[in-house]
Amino acid sequence: MSPMPTIRLSDGVQVPVLGYGTGTAIYQKDAKDSVIMAVSRGNMLHIDCAEMYLNEESVGSALKELKVEQGDLFLTSKCGLENTFISKPSESLERSLQKAVKGMGLSSAWKMMEQLLKEGKTRSIGVSNHRIEFLEEILKNAKTLPSVNQIEVHPYVYDKAQPIIEFCASNAITIEAYGTLASLIHYPGGPVDPIVQQIARDLGATESQVLLKWAHQITHGGPVVTTSNKSERLEEHIKALTEMGDLSDTQMQAIVEGGKQNPQRFRMEDMNER
């Protein structure tokens, strides 16, 4: 199996461009078997977690059983109002951060994130579901920029997400995509489907591979987080990011245009308010 490419964040940390999500499909469920499958069958070393998924302990027991070296793994956790993530989480610090986010506002919460970084409790600090207005507030006083903004990216949300993606690009904030397969899973039968099916036929790929690759390219090479409990699908997802050639500009734009015809989003409700 070809090695998973990485992207270098603004802080120098290298992140594998495909992440294995432990929310949504395995939300509140024991994630141990899924994570063991992802790491052992797929060599996936980027695992996306969150305190609110209520399964971080089971992720921990999977990693213990797998004996993964900490330095080899990029592990994300999120806390607060889904606003923050730290890699290599520390429970008590997450809790104080959560209180800070609720009581003190973004700039103060971000200072605590910077403190975590300074103390070496995490390798990177970033945010999730942050629209431009939130980012501007953080950037005003930040000593360290968020290295990542994890947001919903799929063809039906791209029109609204595009200004955030470009704002992040111009501030060296890497976009990490979730919800990438939404047109297949949540909104089947929409205008994007025939376009993606044609591209999949032309490239000898599957629809999900085309969508994963599209999200990776439209975010300027950002990591894509997705999930499957099926090892065949996981292999398919991995191949999209390790072996598949790039979609052409025409193919990329055809998907963008299809997405504009049926705007949909399942998260980031207020994304159009800057």
Ligand X SMILES: NC(=O)c1ccc[n+]([C@@H]2O[C@H](COP(=O)([O-])OP(=O)(O)OC[C@H]3O[C@@H](n4cnc5c(N)ncnc54)[C@H](OP(=O)(O)O)[C@@H]3O)[C@@H](O)[C@H]2O)c1
Residues that bind ligand X (CB under 6 A): 21-25, 48, 82, 128-129, 150, 178-181, 184-185, 208, 225-230, 233, 267
In the complex, minimum distance from the CB of residue 3 to ligand X, in angstroms, rounded to a whole number: 22
In the complex, minimum distance from the CB of residue 255 to ligand X, in angstroms, rounded to a whole number: 16
CA–CA distance, 109 with 131 (Å, rounded to integer): 16
CA–CA distance, 128 with 61 (Å, rounded to integer): 25
Q: DSSP letters of 224-261?
A: EEE--S-HHHHHHHHHHHHTPPPPPHHHHHHHHHHHHT
Angle between helices 106-118 and 91-104 (to 10 degrees): 160
Select 79 or 93, whichever has its Cβ closest to ligand X.
Answer: 79
Q: Which helix (H) or strand (E) holds 212?
A: helix 207-218
Angle between helices 192-203 and 207-218 (to 10 degrees): 100
Select 35 or 145, whichever has its Cβ closest to ligand X.
Answer: 35
In the complex, minimum distance from the CB of residue 203 to ligand X, in angstroms, rounded to a whole number: 15
In the complex, minimum distance from the CB of residue 228 to ligand X, in angstroms, rounded to a whole number: 3
Select 141 or 231, whichever has its Cβ closest to ligand X.
Answer: 231
Residue 207 neighbours by CB under 8 Å, 6+ apart? 184, 193, 196, 197, 200
Supply 250's token pair: 């025409």
In the complex, minimum distance from the CB of residue 272 to ligand X, in angstroms, rounded to a whole number: 17
- Name the residue with the smallest CB distance to ligand X: 21
Helix/strand/coil (H/E/C) assignment for every residue in 91-117:
HHHHHHHHHHHHHHCHHHHHHHHHHHH
Residue 25 in contact with residue 227, Cβ under 8 Å?
yes
> Can you give the length of the chain in residues?
274
Select 124 or 228, whichever has its Cβ closest to ligand X.
Answer: 228
Select 249 or 273, whichever has its Cβ closest to ligand X.
Answer: 273
CA–CA distance, 105 with 26 (Å, rounded to integer): 31
In the complex, minimum distance from the CB of residue 37 to ligand X, in angstroms, rounded to a whole number: 10
In the complex, minimum distance from the CB of residue 45 to ligand X, in angstroms, rounded to a whole number: 15
